[in-house]
A and B are shown apart, each in its own frame.
Chain A
Amino acid sequence: NAGVMQNPRHLVRRRGQEARLRCSPMKGHSHVYWYRQLPEEGLKFMVYLQKENIIDESGMPKERFSAEFPKEGPSILRIQQVVRGDSAAYFCASSPTRTSARIQYFGAGTRLSVL
């Protein structure tokens, strides 16, 4: 069984460009979570999505960041007009149901570097 797949594993962008991070959850999982890990810091919750719904986006910066999980295809975390402070590892996790949301399986992450 494939685990949570994230791509790309590494992404380099120049300031002002857009970054698109993709996450395919584990088979049978319909709940996706995004976390950000800044250097020397722990993981911080960003957003929780179910298919076609944003359940909790309380950890998302108010500007430039958006996330979606369409009916078909992977979940996308989009960062517009990236700045150096966006450089971090972005992790996606998935769980099968809402009531098992505490059991989250993580992907290997996307390491974003903004030049």
Chain B
Amino acid sequence: TQLLEQSPQFLSIQEGENLTVYCNSSSVFSSLQWYRQEPGEGPVLLVTVVTGGEVKKLKRLTFQFGDARKDSSLHITAAQPGDTGLYLCAGEGAGGTSYGKLTFGQGTILTVHP
């Protein structure tokens, strides 16, 4: 069974601060996705990383996939209240039988105070 450990579970910061959310596993993933979920809504895809060591930037968000494809991080620079939400990482398992079967971390609830 593949598991994704996401940390921290809760993060409360002031506007303008930087933060990093981590997603770790002992398993190799063929890809890793980051989603953001608002209360009462479904997850919205932010980014997909596929290659070990890959770094992707989305405005103030920087996503990195570990060299061994077992871990990932999400870094937010100069957080804003609009960044408040639940952030989820999800991995697609390596191997043909894992197509479409995303394993989700438990999520990080981020609160950015004005």
Q: A102-B30, A102-B92 are in contact. Are A45 and B42 (CB under 8 A)?
A: no
Q: Are B106 and A108 in contact (CB under 8 A)?
A: no
B40 within 8 A of A: yes
Residue of B nearest to A48 (CB): B100
Q: How would you classify the secondary structure of chain B's contact residues: helix, strand, loop or mixed?
A: strand
Q: How far is the CA of A94 from the CA of B43 in the complex (A)?
A: 12
Interface residues on B, range: 20 to 34
Q: How far is the CA of A48 from the CA of B42 in the complex (A)?
A: 17
**The 9 A-B residue pairs with the shortest CB-CB distance in the complex, in nearest-first order:** A106-B42, A101-B100, A42-B104, A102-B92, A42-B106, A48-B100, A43-B104, A102-B31, A101-B99
Q: Give the A-binding residues of B (Cβ under 8 A).
A: 6, 30-31, 33, 35, 40-45, 48, 88, 90, 92, 97, 99-107
Q: Give the B-binding residues of A (Cβ under 8 A).
A: 4, 6, 31, 33, 35, 41-45, 48, 55-56, 58-59, 91, 93, 95, 98-99, 101-109
